[in-house]
Structure 1
Amino acid sequence: MTRPRSQQISLTDTPYYHIISRCVRRTFLCGQDQATGRSFEHRRQWIEDRIRLLASLFAVDIAAYAVMSNHYHLVIKLDPTQAESWSDDEVLRRWSCLFKGPLLVQRYLAGDPQESYALNQVGEFARCYRQRLASLSWFMKCLNEPIARQANQEDGCTGHFWEARFKSQALRTEAALLSCMAYVDLNPVRAGMAATPEASEHTSIRERITPRFDLAQAVREQMRMEALMRFDGPVKPLLPFEGACAEREQPGIPFGFEDYLALVDYTGRAIDPRKKGAIANTLPPILERLGLTPDQWLAQSTQFEALYRPRRRRSAA
């Protein structure tokens, strides 16, 4: 018997969860439709950009993701302390990027004079939105519903796009977190869609290896058709690897990135008879394929967050 979502999500047990959401129709609606030959590959970018946008608005961090042909995987970390640190104005601003909101909130954000009773009501809205911005269910609602509407509009049809509500799996140990992240990052390799992890598109490992300098621009471009979208903030980086540290609580992933890459490379070479693909044993180790020495990789990975800063445009002479 299935359990309600409130019983499956427990931050006292673990903040990490593996999420799966799958298309309902028996065609590759996020990839290549084998029956008609029509390509829906562009929808994978819709989903990837939407994931990165919502992570920048919600108190949710993305540890790993992979957007496949008819489903996607997420490994997320819920961090309600982020939402608790936001002011009411920041909460309202973030929420208004996604929803128009009541007239009182619209007037407040516009700077119109407010009576005391109206300010109290706005404070109630802020408390409600703060809880929602830390909720996995609201995160997934804001992810799946717009994608479904956009796909149905493109197809000229109505009805369900996603198979059911998303599936969530608690990752209670560090071993579970590490193995799940590797499983997600290797999904395109196992499905025969890519020969190596660094060549797999729409995955977190590809983004970590080759950070996208145009990520914020791509997010805004993907959202340009949404009349309510007013996102102008920075795109939050993926949850960083910090290495093991026993002296303090770690907000990031408690592993070294170089060790994780080596583990993914090793795991991808293991032949799984249930899967289509594997990394060829004739290929060199992953750092060698990337043309990096361990020292170069260490320098790059420790400066990873800085790579998300937009490049400054040169002023015209």
Structure 2
Amino acid sequence: MPKPRKALVSLEATPYYHCVARCVRRAFLCGEDATSGHNFEHRRDWIRERLFQLSELFALDVCAYAILSNHYHLVLHVDREAAQGWNIAEVLHRWHALFSGNELTRRFERGETLLPAELRVVDTFAELWRSRLADISWFMRCLNEEIARKANEEDNCTGRFKSQALLDEKALAACLAYVDLNPVRAQMAQTPEASDFTSVQERAAAATQAEHPNETPSQPARLLPFAGNPREPMPKGLPFRLTDYLDLVDFTGRLIHEGKRGAIPEHLPSILQRLAIDPKQWGYLTTQFESPFKGLVGEAHNLKQACQQLGYRRTPGIGACRTLLA
């Protein structure tokens, strides 16, 4: 039986999650529908614009995204510390940008004087909303409902989403590359930098214009930056160097695009060597990431630890994790 979403999210285990939203009944969402002849390319802008609007309000960072014809992929980072640092006024301001709140919270935000009992009620709502603003399900709800509402006006299109917890650097690197190379694999683009509506295109464009592309100020401000290899103290960001990651995506894209999954060049990107990932397994990981794994993805010992924290009696997907992420 599938696990409920709350049983798949453990911020103690990992702050990184891969989310996939698909239209039901294989409905067409973006691009040009060859069957009907209708062009829905404008919806890609809807999704990207709404995605970054929400990332400004939620305590979630966008690590990667790819928007395809009938689905889109996200890799999200939950920043619980940021949410805990908001005061009540900040929480209410963010929530009211999405929902109407209630009379007491609106009065508080307007600066009106409230009785002590009323302030306690406001505090209760603020804590509830603080938790929701650091919740992936609420983020995806706000994203999908807005897109579905606008798409419904055109063709009654609805959708669903699933998520995978990325427990370690191996799983994170594989999932980032899997998401960024979706358009290449779908033959929508020949190269990562030519893949429209993807995070890798934004990162590559910024890198080509930067004198020091690995420095955070040179990277796209609306994406979680690549902070470099793990060290102490580790700044907020993805635990890789941007240039290493772009080399990895280029290497992987050529591997997939040329159909030479078994022909591994002698020169491998340094990131594969640091993470000790078998390059032959890497080709499979970055084309089939959703298929072999359940809701939790990582090395076997990380998977066991996460399952214990979540109260699982068994360890789902451990065979695939042992084989592909050993």
**Are the counterparts in 1 of residues 225 and 237 from structure 2 also a CA contact under 8 Å?**
yes
Specify the alignment match of 2:189 in structure 1: 194
Say if 1:273 and 1:236 are closer, same or farther in 2 by CA, change over 3 A.
Answer: closer
Instruction: Give the distance between the partners of 1:40 and 1:242, measured in 2 at CA.
Output: 36
Specify the alignment match of 1:70 in structure 2: 70
2:158 aligns with one of 153, 156, 161: 161
Q: Please show how residues 26-41 of structure 1 align to structure 2 within 5 Å.
A: 26-41=26-41
Instruction: Give the distance between the partners of 1:201 and 1:121, measured in 2 at CA.
Output: 46
Structure 2 counterpart of 1:197, which letter? P
**Are the counterparts in 1 of residues 204 and 246 from structure 2 also a CA contact under 8 Å?**
no
Say if 1:236 and 1:102 are closer, same or farther in 2 by CA, change over 3 A.
Answer: farther
Q: Please show how residues 1-317 of structure 1 align to structure 2 within 5 Å.
A: 1-155=1-155, 157=156, 161-162=158-159, 164=160, 166-210=161-205, 237-271=222-256
Structure 1 residues 153-179: Cα deviation after superposition (integer angstroms, max 9, x where no partner): 233x4xx610x3x11111112011111
Instruction: Give the distance between the partners of 1:131 and 1:73, measured in 2 at CA.
Output: 23
Unaligned runs of 5+ in 1: 212-234, 276-317
Structure 2 counterpart of 1:161, which letter? T
Instruction: Give the distance between the partners of 2:145 and 2:97, measured in 1 at CA.
Output: 15
Alpha-carbon distance, 1:25 to partner: 3.6
Structure 1 counterpart of 2:132, which letter? R
TM-score normalised to structure 1 length: 0.74
Structure 2 counterpart of 1:258, which letter? T
**Are the counterparts in 1 of residues 29 and 71 from structure 2 also a CA contact under 8 Å?**
no
Structure 1 residues 202-221: Cα deviation after superposition (integer angstroms, max 9, x where no partner): 1111122335xxxxxxxxxx
Name the count of aligned residue pairs. 248
- 1:270 is paired with a residue whose SS is helix
Alpha-carbon distance, 1:98 to partner: 0.3
Say if 1:273 and 1:244 are closer, same or farther in 2 by CA, change over 3 A.
Answer: closer
- 1:167 is paired with a residue whose SS is strand
Specify the alignment match of 2:270 in structure 1: none
**Are the counterparts in 2 of residues 60 and 79 from structure 1 also a CA contact under 8 Å?**
yes
- 2:31 is paired with a residue whose SS is coil
Say if 1:154 and 1:111 are closer, same or farther in 2 by CA, change over 3 A.
Answer: farther
TM-score normalised to structure 2 length: 0.72
Structure 1 residues 140-198: Cα deviation after superposition (integer angstroms, max 9, x where no partner): 1111111111110233x4xx610x3x111111120111111011111111111111111
Instruction: Give the distance between the partners of 1:55 and 1:16, measured in 2 at CA.
Output: 14
Structure 1 residues 77-100: Cα deviation after superposition (integer angstroms, max 9, x where no partner): 111111000110000000000001
- 2:225 is paired with a residue whose SS is coil
Instruction: Give the distance between the partners of 1:272 and 1:109, measured in 2 at CA.
Output: 54
The worse-fitting range, judged by mean Cα deviation, of 262-271 and 113-122 is 113-122
- 1:271 is paired with a residue whose SS is helix
**Are the counterparts in 2 of residues 27 and 34 from structure 1 also a CA contact under 8 Å?**
no
Instruction: Give the distance between the partners of 2:229 and 2:43, measured in 1 at CA.
Output: 37
Specify the alignment match of 1:280 in structure 2: none
Instruction: Give the distance between the partners of 1:192 and 1:136, measured in 2 at CA.
Output: 30
Structure 1 counterpart of 2:114, which letter? Q
Instruction: Give the distance between the partners of 2:78 and 2:193, measured in 1 at CA.
Output: 27
Instruction: Give the distance between the partners of 2:48 and 2:25, measured in 1 at CA.
Output: 20
Alpha-carbon distance, 1:236 to partner: 5.9
**Are the counterparts in 1 of residues 50 and 143 from structure 2 also a CA contact under 8 Å?**
yes
Unaligned runs of 5+ in 2: 207-219, 261-326
Structure 1 residues 49-85: Cα deviation after superposition (integer angstroms, max 9, x where no partner): 1111111111111110101110000011111111000
- 2:77 is paired with a residue whose SS is strand
Alpha-carbon distance, 1:274 to partner: 8.5
**Are the counterparts in 2 of residues 28 and 34 from structure 1 also a CA contact under 8 Å?**
no
Structure 1 residues 260-295: Cα deviation after superposition (integer angstroms, max 9, x where no partner): 1111001000136989xxxxxxxxxxxxxxxxxxxx
